[in-house]
Amino acid sequence: MFFKTFSTLILTALAVSASPALQARQSCTATYNVVSGDTCATIESKTGVSDPQLHALNPSINSGCTNLQIGQVLCVSGSGGSTPFPTNYTGIATFYDPNGGIGACGTILQNNDFVVALGTGLWDGGSHCGQTINVSYQGKIIQVVVEDLCLGCQANGFALAEGALDPEYQTDGAITVVWSFA
């Protein structure tokens, strides 16, 4: 069963492009008109916007802030500007049975635990161990904790412990999921 799933995984991984899309949907809630003598620093002190946020809200400003134009309208406040949305990843998820073994994060894992084995692309030396991720698939959202490493999973994919899933999912084997760190 697992090997059948695994070969499906490889084939599907080639077909689906992984798209970590950081969608910072920011709408501007306050603007500022550049006047003679303005620099990023003066605009920041006049409006209270932070330097990183000013640049995030106005990608046209270069890093040295040397291209301001008198009369230019800048955004100085935007929703979500200081708290970026988490990245949503699209990947292929499969499932596995930890069978009471010790996961790559060092804890014993049972089949019915809500845990996930992260693919190598995002494993990052285990830096996400213990972190919760939200997984949405087929209209459902589940929360699982990173406790293991999946060597056979594609970049943004992972393997969920079987118990976290409904029987329907297990029949499907490998499916596309959208997920983010919670």
Ligand X SMILES: *[C@@H]1O[C@H](CO)[C@@H](O)[C@H](O)[C@H]1NC(C)=O
Which residues make beta-bridge pairs with 148?
Answer: 117
Stretch that binds ligand X, among 4-12, 31-39, 81-89, 98-106 (CB under 6 A): 81-89
Q: Quick one: which of 111, 109, 67, 83 has its CA closest to 24?
A: 83
Query: Under rule CB under 6 A, which residues in 112-141 are in contact with ligand X?
Result: 134, 136
Q: Quick one: which of 154, 152, 116 has its CA closest to 132?
A: 116
Supply the minimum distance, in Å, between the C-beta of residue 28 and ligand X: 18
Stretch that binds ligand X, among 36-44, 80-88, 96-104, 162-170 (CB under 6 A): 80-88
Q: Quick one: which of 107, 79, 168 has its CA closest to 116?
A: 107
Query: Under rule CB under 6 A, which residues in 20-79 are in contact with ligand X?
Result: 23
User: Residue 122, Cα to own-chain centre: how many angstroms?
Assistant: 10
* Token output for 34: 């550049």
Indicate the residue among 133 and 159 with the shorter CB distance to ligand X: 133
The residues binding ligand X (CB under 6 A) are: 23, 85-86, 88, 134, 136, 143, 178, 180, 182
